[in-house]
């Protein structure tokens, strides 16, 4: 095809005519004011027959995305770079591909075998693993080249309508491939005679396709840069160092040199020229590049989308020494590859705990714990998920704010939290203050005269989460009898029984009863003191109006599996005055009829004067006389 400068005739083509001819859309800040002046309303993923200009605003505003390259020979790999030349991912490739190309919507990655001797095959590749997931033989004129020796397809790029543009190292002709059937046809445009494909075709924002070619028979010569216009005419605009692959990202054109350099083209003129174009070396990788691609090559802007959310194994509260497991789930919610990443700030956790060594695990990607921050990054296929788990052991004692609170934040393009509140987790930690509970009991149910010995027991329990030491009990009753305990330290949840005895006096008999409590004190590991008071225990001197020596006591055992309430009269509607434990032993003096309890109307009067209990829940050792 003859080299022609762009003329006024091309500018008179309507947007719909452009789309019908090539289905092309564009990109790019590099095109300057001329391209910017023609940016109408965006329409993502335009196809042939739709307005080509309709997708340009979306593409022109498209943020930079990753660049992909394939290497060959003895180092076959699919490598993903950011626009500064840093490697984002790398995986082994199955074979040599003359070039790779994302489909127009970014959902598929294609590769064409090289050199295509005898036959040419178009493969669908998994960019995460490098596996070939589907294949279709290429037919038509490309197959004819294979039959003649090799097709040598070294340029492959999607158009907006889903067709693939293909170029060959063996001919100036450019082809179109239907990726669904593998059928190839000659494109209505070609390189000028004397040029063959160097690799790749990139759709620009002004409707042109940027194409790269090499002088036929001079594979090491600089690559010529052409614009293929919407009317199918071709204009050379300059040269760049030899390249084998190109990619379009964030309005910039990148070229992958045969020696491993990644170039950024810093200007794209529209006028005809054979002069060198200004380029900047982004990175000298030394890799043997065979081809390159990016999601925006077809003039589209398919954007990644992924979500993150965090969950804990418990809502709490947790105790010092407990272990909490955390799971961060990352889900690619879009239809294209996502370079997902997050940062998990653990500052609000590590004041009360520590990450368990070796507990950080990722189902895919890379998770790293650096100081107080956990980071993760990984490449996720469409609709794929990744999980990152780790464990935190709560300090004992916990010295922080007594809550494990942290937030995970998506840190790469397209990331959001699954829903409000799903990225922040708060687990309360129980207080580290020392705690004690004390219950006081007496074996006797009453006393009748001075000189009787009463036997008190004190059950002391550590109800806190830290050990309590220096435990001391004080009986607050008459005479403050000394209390003997088997130990002075209790671990969390541990109990002990202490004892004391008291001999009644005439003053006690005269008072008619003995009422008292007990106090337990102790201190926690940090010196914090704890003081708690027991229940009140009451013994009466005599429940009768006459001489107590004539009152016969009868032993009974509580037969209920639950505590039994004591009432001031023989009925549950009478005032409660206390309880008796299940299976406890006590004494009664008489019985009378009262409220029917489960078919039994008999009630026993307690010998200690505290009131009445239903006979239905008590088992007597002997016959109980009626109350007079």
In whole angstroms, what is the distance from residue 456 CA to residue 324 CA?
A: 43
Per-residue pLDDT, 568: 87
Per-residue pLDDT, 181: 97
Give domain limits for the chain: 22-293, 306-428, 436-540, 550-620
Alpha helices in 126-167 (DSSP H): 141-148
Read off the pLDDT band of 58 (50, 70, 90).
Answer: low
* CB contact burial 529-561 (16+ within 10 A = b; e otherwise): ebebebeebebbbbbeeeebeeeebbebebebe
Query: What is the per-residue pLDDT across 257-278, written as a single tens digit (0 to 9) for each?
Result: 988 999 999 889 999 999 999 9
Q: Decide if pLDDT at 8 tops 80.
A: no
Alpha helices in 24-140 (DSSP H): 32-36, 56-60
In whole angstroms, what is the distance from residue 592 CA to residue 567 CA?
A: 14
Is the separation of the CB atoms in 159 and 298 below 8 Å? yes
Query: What is the per-residue pLDDT across 568-577, written as a single tens digit (0 to 9) for each?
Result: 889 999 989 8
Read off the pLDDT band of 621 (50, 70, 90).
Answer: confident
Query: What is the per-residue pLDDT across 172-230, written as a single tens digit (0 to 9) for each?
Result: 999 999 999 999 999 999 999 999 999 899 999 888 999 999 999 887 899 999 999 99
Read off the pLDDT band of 528 (50, 70, 90).
Answer: confident
Q: Decide if pLDDT at 55 tops 50.
A: no
- Name the token pair of 626: 């009626």
Per-residue pLDDT, 551: 65
Highest mean pLDDT among 13-17, 499-503, 606-610 belongs to 499-503
Read off the pLDDT band of 481 (50, 70, 90).
Answer: very high
Q: What is the CATH number of domain 22-293?
A: 2.115.10
- Fold equal for 22-293 and 550-620: no
In whole angstroms, what is the distance from residue 404 CA to residue 200 CA?
A: 53
Q: Decide if pLDDT at 286 tops 60.
A: yes
Query: What is the per-residue pLDDT across 343-402, written as a single tens digit (0 to 9) for each?
Result: 999 999 999 999 999 999 999 999 999 999 999 999 999 999 999 999 999 998 777 888
Per-residue pLDDT, 390: 97
Read off the pLDDT band of 542 (50, 70, 90).
Answer: low
Which helix (H) or strand (E) covers residue 448, if one does? none
Whether the model clears a pTM of 0.75, i.e. scores above it, the answer is no
Query: What is the per-residue pLDDT across 403-450, written as a single tens digit (0 to 9) for each?
Result: 999 999 999 989 999 888 889 999 998 876 789 999 999 888 778 789
Per-residue pLDDT, 547: 47
Per-residue pLDDT, 40: 30
Lowest mean pLDDT among 52-61, 148-157, 236-245: 52-61
Query: What is the per-residue pLDDT across 84-105, written as a single tens digit (0 to 9) for each?
Result: 999 999 999 999 999 999 998 8
* CB contact burial 103-123 (16+ within 10 A = b; e otherwise): bbbbebbbbbbbbbeeebbbb
Read off the pLDDT band of 49 (50, 70, 90).
Answer: very low
In whole angstroms, what is the distance from residue 193 CA to residue 216 CA?
A: 9
Q: Decide if pLDDT at 129 tops 80.
A: yes
Query: What is the per-residue pLDDT across 320-331, written as a single tens digit (0 to 9) for each?
Result: 899 999 999 999
How far, in whole angstroms, is CA 430 from its chain's centroid?
A: 25
Per-residue pLDDT, 511: 81
Class of domain 550-620 as given by CATH: mainly beta
CATH of 436-540, one of 3.40.50.1370, 3.40.50.720, 2.170.190.11, 2.60.40.10: 2.60.40.10
Query: What is the per-residue pLDDT across 463-474, written as a single tens digit (0 to 9) for each?
Result: 987 899 999 999
In whole angstroms, what is the distance from residue 176 CA to residue 201 CA?
A: 12
Helices (H) and strands (E) in the chain, counts: 7, 46
Read off the pLDDT band of 546 (50, 70, 90).
Answer: very low
Question: What count of other Cβ atoms lies within 10 Å of the Cβ of residue 218?
Answer: 12
Read off the pLDDT band of 550 (50, 70, 90).
Answer: low
Per-residue pLDDT, 16: 28
Read off the pLDDT band of 124 (50, 70, 90).
Answer: very high
Answer with the residue of higher pLDDT: 134 or 107. Answer: 134
Q: For tokens 């309303």, name the residue.
A: 41
How would you list the strands of the sheet with 252-257, edge to edge? 243-249, 252-257, 261-265, 279-284
Q: Decide if pLDDT at 168 tops 50.
A: yes
Q: Where are the beta strands (DSSP E) in 399-549?
A: 403-410, 415-417, 424-428, 436-442, 453-462, 469-475, 495-503, 513-516, 518-523, 529-533, 537-540
CATH of 306-428, one of 3.40.50.300, 2.60.40.740, 3.90.950.10, 2.60.200.20: 2.60.40.740
Q: Decide if pLDDT at 20 tops 80.
A: no
In whole angstroms, what is the distance from residue 179 CA to residue 181 CA?
A: 6
């Amino acid at each position: 095809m003859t080299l022609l400068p762009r003329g006024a005739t091309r500018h008179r083509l309507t947007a719909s005519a452009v789309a019908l001819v090539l289905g092309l859309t564009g990109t790019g800040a590099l095109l300057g004011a001329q391209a910017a002046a023609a940016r109408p309303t965006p329409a993502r993923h335009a196809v042939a027959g739709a307005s080509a200009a309709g997708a340009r605003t979306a593409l022109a505003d498209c943020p930079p995305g990753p660049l992909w390259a394939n290497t060959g020979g003895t180092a076959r790999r699919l490598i993903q770079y950011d626009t500064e030349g840093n490697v984002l991912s790398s995986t082994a490739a199955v074979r040599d591909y003359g070039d790779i190309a994302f489909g127009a919507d970014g959902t598929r990655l294609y590769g064409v075998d090289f050199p295509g001797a005898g036959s040419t095959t178009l493969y669908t590749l998994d960019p995460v693993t490098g596996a070939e997931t589907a294949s279709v033989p290429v037919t038509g004129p490309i197959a004819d080249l294979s039959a003649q020796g090799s097709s040598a397809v070294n340029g492959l790029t999607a158009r907006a309508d889903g067709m693939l543009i293909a170029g060959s190292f063996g001919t100036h002709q450019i082809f179109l491939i239907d990726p669904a059937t593998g059928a190839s046809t000659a494109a209505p445009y070609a390189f000028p005679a004397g040029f063959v494909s160097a690799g790749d075709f990139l759709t620009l924002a002004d409707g042109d396709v940027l194409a790269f070619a090499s002088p036929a028979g001079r594979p090491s010569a600089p690559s010529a840069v052409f614009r293929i216009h919407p009317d199918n005419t071709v204009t050379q605009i300059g040269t760049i160092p030899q390249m084998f692959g190109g990619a379009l990202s964030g309005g910039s054109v990148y070229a992958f040199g045969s020696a491993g350099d990644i170039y950024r083209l810093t200007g794209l003129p529209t006028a005809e020229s054979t002069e060198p174009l200004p380029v900047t070396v982004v990175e000298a990788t030394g890799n043997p590049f065979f081809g390159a691609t990016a999601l925006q090559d077809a003039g589209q802007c398919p954007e990644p989308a992924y979500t993150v959310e965090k969950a804990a194994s418990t809502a709490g509260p947790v105790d010092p020494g407990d272990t909490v497991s955390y799971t961060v789930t990352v889900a690619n919610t879009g239809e294209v590859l996502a370079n997902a990443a997050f940062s998990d700030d653990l500052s609000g956790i590590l004041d009360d705990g520590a990450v368990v060594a070796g507990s950080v695990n990722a189902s895919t990607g890379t998770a790293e714990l650096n100081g107080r921050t956990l980071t993760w990054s990984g490449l996720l296929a469409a609709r794929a998920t990744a999980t990152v788990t780790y464990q935190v052991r709560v300090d004992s004692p916990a010295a922080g704010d007594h809550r494990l609170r942290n937030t995970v934040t998506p840190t790469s393009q397209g990331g959001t939290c699954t829903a409000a509140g799903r990225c922040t987790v708060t687990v309360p930690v129980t207080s580290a203050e020392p705690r004690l509970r004390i219950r006081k009991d007496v074996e006797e149910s009453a006393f009748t005269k001075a000189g009787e010995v009463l036997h008190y027991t004190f059950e002391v329990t550590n109800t806190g989460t830290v050990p309590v030491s220096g435990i001391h009990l004080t009986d607050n009753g008459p005479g403050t009898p000394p209390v003997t305990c088997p130990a002075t330290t209790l671990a969390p949840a541990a109990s002990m029984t202490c004892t004391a005895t008291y001999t009644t006096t005439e003053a006690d008999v005269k008072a008619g009863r003995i009422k008292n409590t007990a106090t337990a004190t102790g201190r926690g590991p940090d010196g914090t003191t704890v003081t708690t008071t027991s229940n009140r225990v009451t013994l009466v001197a005599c429940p009768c109006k006459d001489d107590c020596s004539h009152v016969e006591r009868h032993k009974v055992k509580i037969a209920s599996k639950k505590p039994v309430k004591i009432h001031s009269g023989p009925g549950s509607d009478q005032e409660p005055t206390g309880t008796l434990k299940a299976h406890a032993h006590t004494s009664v003096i008489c019985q009378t009829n009262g409220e029917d309890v489960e078919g039994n109307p008999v009630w026993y009067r307690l010998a200690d004067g505290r009131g009445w209990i239903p006979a239905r829940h008590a088992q007597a050792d002997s016959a109980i006389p009626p109350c007079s």
